[in-house]
Amino acid sequence: MALEPAMTAFTSREALAMRISALIATELDRGARLNGSAAIAVSGGTTPKPLYEALAERDLPWGRIAVALIDERWVPPDHPRSNETFVRNAFAAATCARISGLYQDGVSAEKAAGRICAAGDRPAFNVVVLGMGEDGHTASWFPQAQGLANALRSDKPVCAVTARRSEATGDEVERITMSLSAIAKAPLVILTIAGGEKRAAFEAAMADGPVEDMPVRAILRARPDLLVCWAP
């Protein structure tokens, strides 16, 4: 029988944040000590914010830890829906952390993705923290999105995606996102979800069905050791 990711339930989002931030801190500290540096890739969204804030308070060698975005709406940092600005604010206590964004001014997401891939300077991530929408998306892998198949099959670190406009996407349908292959390489991959609707979506994603309809299935199937964390 194939292994399947199991959900760990917490009593509150605060409890999730404290327990999982401790786990992540251990992994990042180990990576920094063994290799001289460590890296974490993070998603935007309200669910993981307490986790990031708790992690930023941890006593870590932040000057040797890179914090990178899993995905970005194609908007500049001064836009209210910028993931980069959200992450910088959430990690404000980690003043020495090396935080890097994905947005590049004056070019399309597709052009920027090509530049990032050509540069070849994306770090090897020790930890990846994903979120999930009620529509079954994770990263910027949206159901039936243009470019979704490429993001799930490419061996490149990042890809451009154009989502179908929905309540989940808002107006910002042009995106850049890490590929499945890049995310799945991380030793520790965590999926954080909160609330009853997202729990129901996770359970639906665990059932048989096309990846294109619920793209989170791609990482659930690629990484059966995925750490799934839920809080009310």
**Residue 35's domain is classified under what CATH number?**
3.40.50.1360
pLDDT value of position 2: 55
In a domain, 204, yes or no: no
- Owning domain of residue 159: 7-197+209-231
The residue with tokens 């040797």 is: 64
CA 128 from centre of chain: 6
pLDDT value of position 4: 79
In a domain, 202, yes or no: no
In a domain, 203, yes or no: no
In a domain, 1, yes or no: no
pTM of this prediction? 0.96
In a domain, 66, yes or no: yes
In a domain, 181, yes or no: yes
How many structural domains is the chain composed of? 1
CA 41 from centre of chain: 6
pLDDT value of position 1: 40
Kindly indicate the confidence band of residue 3, based on its pLDDT and cuts at 50, 70 and 90.
Answer: low
Beta carbons of 162 and 146 less than 8 angstroms apart = yes
Closest-CA residue to 178 (of 231, 127, 144, 229): 127
In a domain, 219, yes or no: yes
200-217 confidence digits (pLDDT tens): 999 999 999 999 999 999
In a domain, 175, yes or no: yes
114-142 confidence digits (pLDDT tens): 999 999 989 999 999 999 999 999 999 99
